[in-house]
Amino acid sequence: MENSHPNKAYLEHVAFKVKDIRWHIRFFRDVLGMTLREVDGDPASPRQAWTFGGLQLMADPEFEGPEGRFAHLGVMCEDVDAAIAAAQSFGVLHLDKGPNWLVLHDGLIVELIAASPGTVAAVLAVNPRA
């Protein structure tokens, strides 16, 4: 099945709020080899951390649930402006963070991120089942 849409995109990360971010960093590193590619804040006690492999962990020490709390989807786009324009016909709202932060009608938050030229095509060319 081919994607012939003029503006292509892929899911770059999924963000979760977690109570103990250091525990989660160790788990994903030691169990799945998902090392960190970026940290926000003090590396010893980060506010946020991104792994190679598509996770964003967001420290939320007040969280009391049995699992991580979903925050948003980060989607790499060939053309963010075109995606924002196309989203308007769906009646989406925007967060104060900027027009690339979309709030869908059911509350799902999508962060649109501009991809480097050729990146989206290269990722979409990967056959994960091959």
What would the pLDDT profile of 20-41 be if each residue is shown by its tens digit? 999 999 999 997 889 999 999 9
pLDDT band at 63 (very low <50, low <70, confident <90, very high): confident
Q: Where are the domains of the chain?
A: 9-124
CATH (one of 2.40.110.10, 1.20.1090.10, 3.10.180.10, 3.40.50.2300) for 9-124:
3.10.180.10
Per-residue confidence at 3, pLDDT binned at 50, 70, 90?
A: low
pLDDT in tens, 92-110: 999 999 999 999 887 889 9
Radius of gyration of the chain from Cα atoms?
16
User: What is the distance between the alpha carbons of residues 52 and 36, in angstroms, rounded to a whole number?
Assistant: 6
State the pLDDT confidence band at 66, using cuts at 50, 70 and 90. low
Of 12-21, 64-73, 75-84, 117-126, which range is least confident?
Answer: 64-73
**Confidence grade of residue 1 (pLDDT, cut at 50, 70, 90):** low
Distance CA 100, CA 8 (A): 15
